[in-house]
Amino acid sequence: MIKVENKLFQNRYKVDAGHPHISIKNPDICQNDCKSMACTVCCPAGCYTEEGNGKIVLITDGCLECGTCRIICSEHRNVDWEYPRGGYGILFKFG
C-alpha cells in the first residue's frame, strides 16, 4: 500500500482549523446508496476513507483543491465544495 501521507508531508498547508471547505451533504447517501464510492479511489490526497461499514470519513487537511471529488460524485451530487477562505489551504512552493 502506498501511503499518500508520505507525499503530502512534503507539502505546505495553512489549515483553516474548524472550517473545512468541503463537506459531505448527506452521509446516509454515501453509506446506503452509493455503489462506486469513487471518492475513496480518485482523491489524489486520500481525503476520503471508507470505514468498513460503508461510512465515509472526509478529512480535508491534505486537500490539493483539485475538484475531483465534486465532479466524480455525479450520481448523487453529494459533495458540497467551496474554495478555502482566501490565503488558506494548499500552498504550492513549486506547483
Partner 1 sequence: MEKFDAIVVGAGPSGNAAAYTLAKAGLKVLQIERGEYPGSKNVQGAILYSDALERIIPDFRDDAPLERHIVEQRMWVLDDESYVGSTYRSAEFNREPYNRYTIIRAQFDKWFSKKVQDAGALLICETTISDLILDGNRVIGVQADREGGAIYADIVILADGVNSLLAKKAGFHPELDAKDVALAVKEIHFLPQETIESRFNIGEDEGVVIEMVGKITKGMMGTGFLYTNKESITLGVGCMLSDFKQQKTTPYALLEEMKAHPAIKPLIAGGEMKEYTGHLIPEGGYKAIPKIYGDGWLMVGDAAMFVNAVHREGSNLAMTSGRLAAETVIALKEQGKFMTEANLALYREKLDESFLMKDLKKYKEMPGILHKSPQFFTTYPELINKAAHSMLTVDGVDKKTKEREIRRNFVGKRSLFGLMGDAFKMWRAFE
Q: Shortest distance, CB of residue 5 to ligand SF4, whole angstroms?
A: 13
Q: Shortest distance, CB of residue 55 to partner 1, whole angstroms?
A: 19
Distance of alpha carbon 29 from alpha carbon 46, whole angstroms: 20
Pairing of strands 56-58, 48-50: antiparallel
Distance of alpha carbon 64 from alpha carbon 25, whole angstroms: 20
Under DSSP, the state recorded for 84 is P
Grid cell in block for residue 70: 465534486
Residue identified by cell 475531483 is 68
Q: Shortest distance, CB of residue 4 to partner 1, whole angstroms?
A: 5
Q: Is 17 in the site for partner 1 (CB under 8 A)?
A: no
| Closer to ligand SF4 by Cβ: residue 15 or 64 | 64
Q: Is the dihedral of CA 40, 26, 79, 94 positive or negative?
A: negative
- The residues of the shown chain that bind partner 1, judged by CB under 8 A, are 2, 4, 7-8, 10-11, 14, 36, 38, 41-46, 64-68, 70-72, 74, 77, 81-87, 89-95
- The residues of the shown chain that bind ligand SF4, judged by CB under 6 A, are 22, 24, 29-30, 34, 36-39, 43-45, 47-48, 56, 60, 63-69, 73, 76, 78-79
